Amino acid sequence: MQNKILIVDDNTDLLTVLRLGFSKNGFVVRTADNGADALKKVRSFAPDLILLDLIMPEMDGFAVCECLKKNHDTADIPIVVLSGLSSQLSRFAGLESGADEYLTKPFNFSEILDRVKGVLEHSAASRPTAATAAA
């Protein structure tokens, strides 16, 4: 089964690069260029992971993250922040808002791919199986 990823960033060139990179690595990819659109696409696409920028129009990534983590239906979707904000304070705020990982721009795509795969593996390992859920 292919993993589904939603990439959210207001930079269309970056969205294209990331979409192509993840598609070439077997992911089913959807994109959104603002936070409000991201929330709509989460409901219709049901991604396995969200790669999220923080500074965007309409609704920033912090608000998107908090909204998703407060909703029972989306709280378990792993979120990897990819932001130009590189200070310790920004990193802390991103993780406090619910992100599972925080990466900064500029970036190396293979590092992002490795981190995304790692977060997905950790997420899958921590989900209860049907047997443990029934017990």
**Model confidence over 45-93: pLDDT tens digits?**
999 999 999 999 889 999 999 999 999 999 999 999 999 998 899 999 9
pLDDT tens across 97-131, in order? Answer: 999 999 999 999 999 999 999 999 998 887 665 44
Query: Cβ neighbours of residue 114 under 8 Å, at least 6 residues apart?
Result: none
Domain 4-134: homologous superfamily in CATH: Response regulator (3.40.50.2300)
Three-point CA angle 123, 79, 72, nearest 5°: 75
pTM exceeding 0.85: yes
The CA-atom distances, in angstroms, between 2 and each of 20, 59, 101, 124 are: 15, 29, 21, 13
Domain ranges of the chain: 4-134
